[in-house]
Amino acid sequence: MKKVSAYAAASPKSPLAPTTIERRDPGPKDLSIEILYAGICHSDIHQARDEWGGARFPMVPGHEIVGRVTAVGAEVTKLRVGDLAGVGCMVDSCRVCGPCREDVEQFCESGCAFTYNSTEMDRTTPTFGGYSTDLVVDERFALRIPAGLDPAAAAPLLCAGITTYSPLKRLGVKPGDRVGVVGLGGLGHMAVKLAASMGAEVTVLSTSRAKEADARRLGAVGFEVTNDEATFQKLAGRLDVVIDTVSAPHDYNAYLGLLRPRGTMTLVGAPPEPTALNAFALIGGAKRLTGSLIGGIAETQEMLDYCGERGIASDVEIIPIQDVNKAYERMLRGDVRYRFVIDIASLRG
């Protein structure tokens, strides 16, 4: 065991504060990683405040991790000492069930081991995330970071990137498709970049008029504010796909109205409270409402390689870990352009 520095929430009501945690001794298939950067996902806030229920404390959030490999076990082949490594939302799974064999470990029948707010597959050892100096992970759940991507800007790909890439791929988004992205935050800005890179005509639907210029710079051809009823009339029946990244409750029915017949809306945003769904919003036009949860390890590597080839990464604001609580408050106000990334050097001191 090695004691390492971290930031943790002691309870749903406590701010994050410095602490120490233990990392296991690396086994033959493990990598030891010195963490360089950790992105701040809105899921970190939902979980640190126990908004989804069942949270485990103390909690060290962080599942958008990029670090440097400092040691490898004897059986490791994927990465070498000195390589950059990424770790996303999962650190293990049963590996033998149907979903694990089909490369969707996030749906492991035993429940995968999430990077934090979870346990290892022994179901007793708590897992702790990337707001810490070091991590030990099985190579199977580590990702290669393509050369040429800035490591800080690549960190958010490990969650925001894969969470938006996966549904765009699954829905077969192709040149000329009209894709609406609801909410221009961490996930939303990656959805815009990725959908535009696939040739889609992207429209951003935002509560913040001030984000219009950014939306266009990120690759959107359209921008509409959602607090104006005229938006819903103007775009009615026009979109092939809607990717909804909003973190707070809102009216899904209104956005379903923007789909063309047989179009698909995918929820990736995970508001804690339920929203009423009107059957007629789906029946008229045989529309589809789906959801998507991160992506499997193989698809995450595919996404990283895709981004590496095209120079796609996140727009980041790098902060010292001492500012993490302020960053949470700013995110809750929609004041982030477009992902906070913690420089973990600030935790080494």
**Considering the complex, what minimum distance in angstroms separates the CB of residue 85 from ligand NAP?**
20
On the question of a cis peptide bond just before residue 58, with omega within 30 degrees of 0, the verdict is: yes
The residue range among 1-9, 71-79, 171-179, 243-251 that interacts with ligand NAP, by the rule CB under 6 A, is 243-251
Binding site for Zn ion (CB under 5 A): 41, 43, 93-94, 97, 100, 108, 159
**Considering the complex, what minimum distance in angstroms separates the CB of residue 267 from ligand NAP?**
7
**Considering the complex, what minimum distance in angstroms separates the CB of residue 323 from Zn ion?**
19
DSSP-assigned beta bridge partners for residue 317: 340
Q: What is the dihedral of CA 302, 308, 314, 319, to 10 degrees?
A: 110
**Considering the complex, what minimum distance in angstroms separates the CB of residue 155 from ligand NAP?**
13
Count of residues in the chain: 349
- Exactly one of 17, 96, 236, 248 binds ligand NAP (CB under 6 A); that residue is 248
Q: Which residues contact 226 (CB under 8 A, 6 or more apart)?
A: 182, 205, 206, 207, 250
Of the two residues 189 and 287, which places its CB atom closer to Zn ion in the complex?
189
CA gap 81, 83 in Å, rounded: 6
- Exactly one of 132, 133, 231, 247 binds ligand NAP (CB under 6 A); that residue is 247
94 binds, among ligand NAP, Zn ion, none (CB under 5 to 8 A by kind): Zn ion
CB 189 within 8 A of CB 161: no
Of the two residues 95 and 260, which places its CB atom closer to Zn ion in the complex?
95
**Left if phi > 0, otherwise alpha if psi is -120 to 50, otherwise beta: which for 137?**
beta
Residue 300 tokens, joined: 């995450």
Residues that bind ligand NAP (CB under 6 A): 41-43, 46, 159-160, 163, 183-188, 206-208, 211, 245-248, 250, 268-270, 292-294, 331, 334, 336
